[in-house]
Structure 1
Amino acid sequence: MDRIVPQLFLGDNQRLRVIKEYLQQLKKEKLSKIKKG
């Protein structure tokens, strides 16, 4: 049991990191589009 819990926690952290990076990229794309437009 001790081994399973940290793995689930790490999975959640990784997912959050991926989501954050995705959102950051979306923001960058929007900003670049606004600057070009």
Structure 2
Amino acid sequence: DLVDVGRDVERRTLAHAVKLYLQRRILLNGKKTVVFE
């Protein structure tokens, strides 16, 4: 089902973003976001 696939993609994307943020590889500067990979 496409809804389930969409939820899974959102969950994985959020988990990856949180991981990068905790590793200090994402910087938030006002309205801008910088990602170091």
When the two structures are superposed, what TM-score results if normalisation uses the length of structure 1? Answer: 0.64
Amino acid aligned to 1:12: D
The number of aligned residues is 25
* Rg larger in structure: 1
Higher fraction of helix? 1
CA RMSD of aligned residues (A): 1.4
Q: Work out the percentage of aligned pairs sharing the same amino acid.
A: 12
Structure 1 runs, 4 residues or longer, greater than 6 Å off: none
When the two structures are superposed, what TM-score results if normalisation uses the length of structure 2? Answer: 0.64
If asked which structure has higher relative contact order (CA below 8 Å, sep 6+), I would say: 2
* Unpaired segments ≥5 residues, structure 2: 26-37
- Offset of 1:27 from its aligned partner? 0.4
Residue 15 of structure 2 corresponds to residue 16 of structure 1? no
* Unpaired segments ≥5 residues, structure 1: 30-37
